Amino acid sequence: MISLLKPSCRFTTLVVAPTNQLAVTAARAVADTPGRIYNPLYIYGGPGLGKTHLLMAIGHAVLDIDPSCTVEYLSIEDFASAWPTARNAGEEEAYCRHYVEAEVLLLDDIHLLAYRRDLQLEILRVLDSVLERNHQVVMASDRAPNRIDGLDERLARRCAAGLVTDVATPAPETRLEVVRRRVQERGAVFHPDILELLAGVGQSDLRQLLALVDSFQEVQRRTHLPLTVEAARGLLNDMGLAEVTGPAGDGQSPRPHADEFGTFLSDVTTTVAGQLEAWRSRVAEAILRWEGEGFRTRRLEALLQADLPADPNAILESFTADVERLRGLESEAQTVSPDLVGSPLFRDPDQVAAAAALVEHARQGRHPLPTPSRMWRLEDLIEAPGNQDALSSAWGVVDQPGTRHNPLAVVAPSGCGKTHVLHGIANKLAEAPNATIACLTASDFIADLEAAREANRLSAWQSRYRGVTGLLIDDIHRWADHPPLGAELVELLDALLEARAQLVVTSVVPLPQLALDRGIVDRLQRGLVVALAPPDRGIRSRVVERLLAAKLSLVDPELTSYLANRPAESVRSLQGLVHRLLNNAEVQGKTPTVAFARELLEGMPQAPPAREQRTRLSGVVVPVAGGLRSREKMVWHWPDAGDRVVEEWS
């Protein structure tokens, strides 16, 4: 979506330094020849270091060369908000089509896919479609692909298939150059010592550093006086930011003149450093190689931090042998139990024993259980009259699992928070000592059962789930889309209830109306059935306020009220609406206001600034009792008398 590329995010506005030089070089090469080199290109680094800037700079450079090229920028946060809504409306293919057909696809914040299997599979499908056409993909994340927990192994391999490069924390001189450029862009004037003072506060997040420069400029603008160095230090102290000593915050003090003995020591140090540099280079090359192939390299990174080991080559050979052992185990897992392929254990050479145990368990029919997503916590849910019973019941299950409200069934329309409740309960239950929790969707549960049937391993399947202390299944209404479930599920439910294992299910359809075996429905109705109502005004206001507060320093109550009153069938669609507003405001460099929101969401233009001349009347009288009035026939602003256009009211 070309409109989402910020005009300021170009290569010409980027400060290039050793900490980002490789990433910038790769980005320029991709922009010059998209799809022919480094495809995909994966850039990772901490927040505020310029990853999004690089992505958008690639988009602008491609369009400068070929304006007809199709460039699409997509943040995973936006995708997570919009795609479920499109899927529920049956329009997921239409929604994803323009990303699939993009000639250059820019994906931001890949790490937000962690533990979100449905989104991962859709992004994987999009990536495969784009790469099959030899179109360019560029991704950004806060960590390397092999460091993202809960990421599908196939997706991790796609991310690491091209070039994986990082953006590191900027050096003091880089921060100083960033400060100088920002001041020049804003047309501000600061004393040189203030520039070094700003660069020396040690902000690794360049986005926060720029915000600090802007706040100093705003103070200077409001006081109409040049900001002094002492006043600047006072502002930093008020903000809790400590100044780092030394010019530009490098913390270095002048070195005394070296004497003859000091020169000798310097020569010896140089010789030893040369020997150290050789083995460190080999280790660094190994880290780049294995990280690029998706393996964790903690052992080698720790080696770089240590002194010269007795035999670095032996350590490298041992690491390589462990990698080959993991490859062999994963190949075996592909035969024994294909669903194990992609486990993080097969990517960590420090976990060879655990990976071997995992494969051995698979041989015996004991697969690892699906776990809840850690992004959903019970504490984060907003309590209101419409969901008070459901939340009270959820906490009751957590306090007395297996004995109170067992089973617990949560019924609600799509997008009202039932999945959040389910995973929140599961995460709480998993905190108990010796807890064994399985949390998954109804579709995955049935797929597991059908695979066991085909492999004639039903006893192993039942043994796997009978050992849990909690079984939580999302969207059981989807079971109606599958063949009859048979007696296996009834037997499992009976066994779990008898063992006082906690059962929790969710459904869009009320339980009595489920097109399922009556034995299954009867067992699920033996406990407590609670409903989650669509979000009321109170919940909507608090959801909007929370989302705005996460992005804005000051939340406008009028904007909160306006957004909370917008038509939205679920919390999910309300979140998508707020994210759309914030993203467009950021792209356009505007502050989100009610007027801006109305223009974006309703198509209404913002009211023009008031004219200083005497107020004129339009001469059109609108009856109070008359219904309004189409927006196309409303007169928002009268131009000069000679240019007026008068329309009829119907």
Domain layout of the chain by residue ranges: 11-166, 172-242, 269-364, 378-531, 537-602
State residue 410's pLDDT score: 93
The string of pLDDT tens digits covering residues 550-559 is 777 777 888 8
State residue 216's pLDDT score: 75
Q: Which residue has the higher pLDDT, 411 or 635?
A: 411
Query: What is the rounded distance in angstroms from the CA atom of residue 180 to the CA atom of residue 199?
Result: 9
Beta-bridge partners for 165: 43
- Using pLDDT thresholds of 50, 70 and 90, give the confidence band for residue 483: low
DSSP assigned state of 339: G
Reduced to 3 states (helix: H, G, I; strand: E, B; else coil), residue 74 is: strand
- Taking CA atoms, 55 is separated from 2, 75, 170, 348, 418, in Å, by 12, 11, 18, 29, 35
The string of pLDDT tens digits covering residues 414-426 is 878 889 999 999 9
Q: Which residue has the higher pLDDT, 650 or 72?
A: 72
The string of pLDDT tens digits covering residues 39-94 is 899 999 888 888 999 999 999 999 999 888 999 999 998 888 888 888 888 888 88
> Residue 480: which of 449, 439, 443 has the closest Cα?
443
Q: Quickly list DSSP for 532-553.
A: -PPP-HHHHHHHHHHHHHHH-S
Location of structure tokens 């090229």: 69
Most confident of the following: 288-297, 352-361, 400-409? 400-409
Give me the helices (H) in 552-570, please.
557-564
The string of pLDDT tens digits covering residues 235-287 is 776 666 655 444 444 444 334 444 444 444 444 444 444 444 567 767 777 77
The string of pLDDT tens digits covering residues 185-230 is 777 777 777 777 776 675 566 667 777 777 777 777 777 777 777 7
User: Which CATH fold would you assign to the domain 172-242?
Assistant: Helicase, Ruva Protein; domain 3 (1.10.8)
State residue 267's pLDDT score: 46
State residue 205's pLDDT score: 63
Query: What is the rounded distance in angstroms from the CA atom of residue 169 to the CA atom of residue 171?
Result: 7
Q: Do domains 11-166 and 378-531 have the same CATH topology?
A: yes
What is the pairing mode between strands 470-474 and 163-167?
Answer: unpaired
As given in the structure block, the two tokens for residue 526 are 């033996």
Q: Averaged over 479-487, what is the pLDDT?
A: 68
Give me the half-sphere count of Cα atoms (radius 13 Å) on the Cβ side of residue 162.
Answer: 26
Q: Residue type at 103?
A: E
- Class of domain 11-166 as given by CATH: alpha beta
> Residue 13: which of 206, 201, 218, 194 has the closest Cα?
206
State residue 203's pLDDT score: 56
Largest CA distance in the chain: 99
Q: How many helices (H) and strands (E) does the chain have?
A: 24, 10
State residue 557's pLDDT score: 87
- Residue 344 CB contacts under 8 Å (≥ 6 apart), including other chains: 149
- Using pLDDT thresholds of 50, 70 and 90, give the confidence band for residue 332: confident
Location of structure tokens 């999910």: 572
Query: What is the rounded distance in angstroms from the CA atom of residue 77 to the CA atom of residue 576?
Result: 9
Rg (CA), the chain: 30
DSSP assigned state of 434: T
Cα–chain center distance at 581: 18
For the domain covering 378-531, report its CATH number: 3.40.50.300
